[in-house]
Structure 1
């Protein structure tokens, strides 16, 4: 990495015009220098200004925004003095952007070829006759298999990881020297995320690109960044090398963020940061973090915090040199689950297929393709939490859709106590619907933006209980209190709430019907770490108080370790391992479970995930043998031909041809023993 500065942010402040026509500051006196070839991470809670700063580095301002003071210089030139025509050539060309959700950024009605050609036309000097060749080179560069065939596909025909790789290829079309990445791995499963980060690291080394990496995932930031800038209330409050900030954080806020992260080597839920970030523009003087800081003193509230050098990094804090040294995180014991011996959910021999044969196939008796989900047996006791884990496409959401009645199964039984859940949701009576509720991943998509919180909560109350308007409002206020929100939130619209507040409203609506089984579909994946910790604690507290049962889908295995009692590991719609969460994560592992655990990221720059091959989303599940045979480093001929048996170690059940003792020995030694005894 050279010492040449590629981007300089100098005392930069940015504001937007509020409803009262006053200019409200979003970014305040931000200064940052980025060297050529460097990767810098911008971290902090939602609303702290990290995405706004990243977009400002491309001279992109949202409607109603304006620069208050300062400047941003790219290769010495002030970006905000350039014309729109010059900026249009710069963006997507020398400065590339990789957005958070590739599925939404790719045009669904256009083939990948057309979208890559468009990027080459707008942002490169490649002649039209060479677009095809260059498009194939770009897809090879991002490690996509069969690039020629990939060009002819539509975005919906690709997995999430493949879509993200296409988005990276489009960003590389203009041969950028600065790449802005806005939450590029949020929503990806653990192995896909690890592979995307490895790809980005390799591309940076090969092409010498500079990267600005925006994320609330400190593990992802640690994997790719040289330095970290921690943001709060529109300011950079701590800046230093990745190792310094993550190992010896100097600001209380940074310490709080790190303490909010669940870890695989800890038991129970991590503590969340108290309070909420300040409203944009509300901080006039003093330290913005003071109202939430347990160390705050009078002068922290009265005086603006100075930027001081603390060891080898910078920190904006009055008390940086007075705080105690950071120690190991305190282990928080998991609350005792109020489970009973009563089986609430019973799934037997479940098989689900999305295939719908045409008339000709039915007349000919054509054999249907291999089922999407097959041979699923699961028991869930009342008051427990069962987590379904696995990569994207493993069948987690398909099973949840079958339980909710959205996707009826082809074979098997699903029972809630004595009630049959095989019927589609439209055939279930209102009381059965009430007993099974769902919390979705994205509250923005599940809350009506035109309704107040009161109207959102009153809908299920009217549907299930027929309450009048006054009783509905009173019960709605009680539901808000249940999720730790004040009654005045009843008159707010979803757009006036933070991400964590929206998810709390979604949880309150779910509990309006007094459910017995709650299906949680990635309910914390889009939340920053402090809000995630608070929502997880809320879910656990509600389970303790109400005795509800959760079926919990998550990609983050550390979150699963913190909240779940039982875990079921799925690969391409087949169960690989089932058991108590501590036994599954700490005991004997199926090779696929081991691969998932190896790919988990840690907020430690020295931690390198062990990757065992890319995802197999290209292929359907094999018709015979072990589902994991194509990727398993221990696979033998038996694995290809015979369905593996279930083995038990206490309550930990593993479906594998290798014995538990052989699995304990590991890949090479187990194979040598197997071949020697063959």
Structure 2
């Protein structure tokens, strides 16, 4: 590298002390150098040490972890040798962090405006009167609608994606020299993610800013990074230019990760890597990846491979990098289980409207037209047994709101919910009978908000097993261990607490808890967003298997349109709480008709540095739906005039249950992409 690195990590080993008193490493001799203006991506499965490495670059380790050896040099000095006052000046200012969980960055009892003002006072030299304008400018940069209104809100009044954008704005407030990004776009929809990534690329160039980008999403890495470093079980197994690593990686593990990614044009399950990484402290004789490697020989089992640098600039820890190209990178997972024809009804929603506003006594007597539009309105859907319905749309489109209403956490203002046997589903969860509670389970987007940090994994999984099936003692623990195996964790996780798990591991525990009740309907709210691509592929296989064996019905909410494509029988597209397109997955993805659906699909990232998403040149999201007309009218590239401003679009039936809500005739919508 021509310039001296701003971040220079040398031989870093980090570990924790086990029950026997021995030190168990989680990072093994990591080297990482990042220069100003350079972006490097850190990839690997959950538990590989990616987040630990990123936090160590700030001179910070989670509770229980210790630095065993090595140095973390930032701007010429070791971060672990600096005083607390020096670190306080650097963190949040010169060195910014965007955490994976926005809940860790936002204070729930403070309004957004006050939190941004605090960041600006601590890390900027702006005059006090300029803070408000700067805060609005930051929220505008991250594409939050109506920034002035956002500043007055509390974090719980924002969607998960909106919270994440606020966290990104706070990290950028100090105009850092280096930015550490730990899965910062996992909660963002595809259009916002693409715009945010472009913003980060522009800022990195304009400010000559160094970026360390931790992500499971190889499409994100392809879009923003210059180099990639692949970690496996706490050590570097591959490092090189992003183009070489993603086009033709020299390590079997990297090829396995690429094969685990679902593709937009292919409705099939991706192929998960066999096995799982070793636990900390496990025997590391030979190549650490050998038990899962298709190329492994006896030589690999006994000797630790050195780093070998190839012609394309890839440095790989493998004895046979030249044979890696023989490994197929295309997905070939289990056959997809399809919903049987004429399956009985599982659940129906009829004319459901949902409001967050709580009108006072006088407002109840006001005419309906004077009230703000409902957050979600006129939702009519029918779900059959064994069906998977994908709900897609940008942050704030009402996807999670609909799930909460089905779960009984948010009663509808209008409309009804009915189970397949004709029984009316009680609106509030506390009023539902135990059999209704068991039949409908929900997996939340953020496992930190659904897992009790004071309970062990065994206790968390044991609650539904005791409540619904009366299990106890050894039988309960054995069943809990089986559930962990289904989500690719082992029985050794039973005695751990959530704080001792990675983000992906916590999400897998939350999934296992939902499945413990053997539900008929599973509500999945971004359940794969925190998972690495290999575990994601395994979870998709698990959902597919449950669907085949138990005729389980899934309502699957995700910003990842490739995951929805791989798993769903039907797809419903939401914008501002209104349905705009619904139909079989093959029809919606193969021939999208609504202009908004085309905008979403055009923004999807691929794990290919040559892929460029097609975004609207002038695009701004909105905070609330309009009072009349088409909800997409302000952003639509093919708006046809006053009709779109004043009249609600009609439903137009295509074929095989494919319907579009738009004023433009179907024959015109099917013409070449207008965006």
TM-score w.r.t. structure 2 length? 0.91
The alpha-carbon deviation at position 544 of structure 1 amounts to: 0.8
The reply to whether residue 58 of structure 1 matches residue 58 of structure 2 is yes
The alpha-carbon deviation at position 517 of structure 1 amounts to: 1.8
Q: 1:353 — aligned with what?
A: 355
2 CA distance for matches of 1:405 and 1:155?
22
Contact 2:269-2:331 within 8 A present in 1 as well: no
Moved more, 556-565 or 178-187: 178-187
1 CA distance for matches of 2:458 and 2:610?
48
Q: 2:551 — aligned with what?
A: 547
Which of 388, 395, 399 aligns to 1:396? It is: 399
Q: 1:584 — aligned with what?
A: 588
Q: 1:676 — aligned with what?
A: none
Q: Deviations over 1:324-343 (max 9, x none)?
A: 34555145574242524122
Q: Deviations over 1:214-257 (max 9, x none)?
A: 11111111111011011112211111111000001111111111
Contact 2:164-2:188 within 8 A present in 1 as well: no
Contact 1:248-1:326 within 8 A present in 2 as well: no
1 CA distance for matches of 2:546 and 2:134?
55
Q: Deviations over 1:100-159 (max 9, x none)?
A: 233431223334444344334433444556555655665566566666665555444555
Contact 1:261-1:529 within 8 A present in 2 as well: yes
Moved more, 437-446 or 404-413: 437-446
The alpha-carbon deviation at position 501 of structure 1 amounts to: 5.9
The alpha-carbon deviation at position 595 of structure 1 amounts to: 1.0
Q: 2:105 — aligned with what?
A: 105
Q: Deviations over 1:28-76 (max 9, x none)?
A: 2222322221111111111111122222222223344443333233333
**Match runs of 1:557-576 below 5 Å:** 557-576=561-580
1 CA distance for matches of 2:285 and 2:292?
15
Q: Deviations over 1:391-447 (max 9, x none)?
A: 121111222222222222222222112111153223332222222222333445434
Contact 1:339-1:547 within 8 A present in 2 as well: no
Q: 1:295 — aligned with what?
A: 295
**Match runs of 1:159-174 below 5 Å:** 160-174=160-174
Moved more, 293-302 or 153-162: 153-162
Q: 1:380 — aligned with what?
A: 383
The alpha-carbon deviation at position 485 of structure 1 amounts to: 6.7
Q: Cα 1:668–1:14, aligned 2, differ >3 Å: closer, same or farther?
A: closer
2 CA distance for matches of 1:116 and 1:172?
10
Which of 607, 628, 644 aligns to 1:639? It is: 644
Q: 2:320 — aligned with what?
A: 319
The alpha-carbon deviation at position 601 of structure 1 amounts to: 1.1
Which of 645, 649, 660 aligns to 1:654? It is: 660
RMSD over aligned CA atoms reads: 3.0
Contact 1:339-1:381 within 8 A present in 2 as well: no
**Match runs of 1:145-184 below 5 Å:** 151-158=151-158, 160-184=160-184
Equivalent position SS for 2:181: strand
Contact 1:183-1:215 within 8 A present in 2 as well: yes
Q: Cα 1:127–1:336, aligned 2, differ >3 Å: closer, same or farther?
A: closer
The alpha-carbon deviation at position 298 of structure 1 amounts to: 1.4
Equivalent position SS for 1:324: helix
Contact 1:195-1:614 within 8 A present in 2 as well: no
Equivalent position SS for 2:80: helix
Contact 2:336-2:567 within 8 A present in 1 as well: no
The alpha-carbon deviation at position 258 of structure 1 amounts to: 0.8
Q: Cα 1:88–1:346, aligned 2, differ >3 Å: closer, same or farther?
A: closer
Moved more, 348-357 or 372-381: 348-357
Q: Deviations over 1:451-489 (max 9, x none)?
A: 555544443344345567677567656666766777776
Contact 2:259-2:328 within 8 A present in 1 as well: no
**Match runs of 1:383-462 below 5 Å:** 383-417=386-420, 418-451=422-455, 453=457, 455-462=459-466
The alpha-carbon deviation at position 273 of structure 1 amounts to: 1.0
2 CA distance for matches of 1:499 and 1:413?
36
Moved more, 57-66 or 388-397: 57-66
Q: 1:675 — aligned with what?
A: none
Q: 1:524 — aligned with what?
A: 528
Q: Cα 1:666–1:215, aligned 2, differ >3 Å: closer, same or farther?
A: same
Q: Cα 1:117–1:468, aligned 2, differ >3 Å: closer, same or farther?
A: closer
Equivalent position SS for 2:664: coil
Q: Cα 1:9–1:323, aligned 2, differ >3 Å: closer, same or farther?
A: same
**Match runs of 1:219-238 below 5 Å:** 219-238=219-238
Q: Structure 2 regions of 5+ residues with no counterpart?
A: none
Q: 2:346 — aligned with what?
A: 344
Q: Deviations over 1:611-658 (max 9, x none)?
A: 226876543212222121111111122111222122222121111111
Q: Structure 1 regions of 5+ residues with no counterpart?
A: 670-678
The reply to whether residue 370 of structure 1 matches residue 365 of structure 2 is no
Q: Cα 1:153–1:543, aligned 2, differ >3 Å: closer, same or farther?
A: closer
Moved more, 168-177 or 88-97: 168-177
Contact 2:252-2:327 within 8 A present in 1 as well: no
The alpha-carbon deviation at position 348 of structure 1 amounts to: 1.9
Equivalent position SS for 2:564: helix
Q: Cα 1:518–1:159, aligned 2, differ >3 Å: closer, same or farther?
A: closer
Q: Deviations over 1:545-596 (max 9, x none)?
A: 1111111111111111111111111111111111110111001321111111
Equivalent position SS for 2:362: helix
> Whose Rg is larger?
1
Contact 1:192-1:615 within 8 A present in 2 as well: no
Q: Deviations over 1:177-229 (max 9, x none)?
A: 21111111122222222221111112112212111111111111111101101
Contact 2:250-2:325 within 8 A present in 1 as well: no
Q: Cα 1:457–1:210, aligned 2, differ >3 Å: closer, same or farther?
A: closer
The reply to whether residue 611 of structure 1 matches residue 615 of structure 2 is yes
2 CA distance for matches of 1:567 and 1:378?
11
Q: 1:674 — aligned with what?
A: none
Contact 2:145-2:623 within 8 A present in 1 as well: no
Contact 2:143-2:192 within 8 A present in 1 as well: no
Contact 1:393-1:617 within 8 A present in 2 as well: no
Equivalent position SS for 1:356: coil
Contact 2:507-2:530 within 8 A present in 1 as well: no
Q: Deviations over 1:348-406 (max 9, x none)?
A: 22222223221122245564321122121212121111111111211112222222222
TM-score w.r.t. structure 1 length? 0.90
Q: 2:91 — aligned with what?
A: 91
2 CA distance for matches of 1:276 and 1:155?
36
Contact 2:168-2:184 within 8 A present in 1 as well: no
The alpha-carbon deviation at position 16 of structure 1 amounts to: 3.1
Q: Cα 1:402–1:56, aligned 2, differ >3 Å: closer, same or farther?
A: closer
Moved more, 337-346 or 592-601: 337-346
Q: 1:5 — aligned with what?
A: 5
Q: Cα 1:373–1:130, aligned 2, differ >3 Å: closer, same or farther?
A: closer
2 CA distance for matches of 1:511 and 1:166?
33
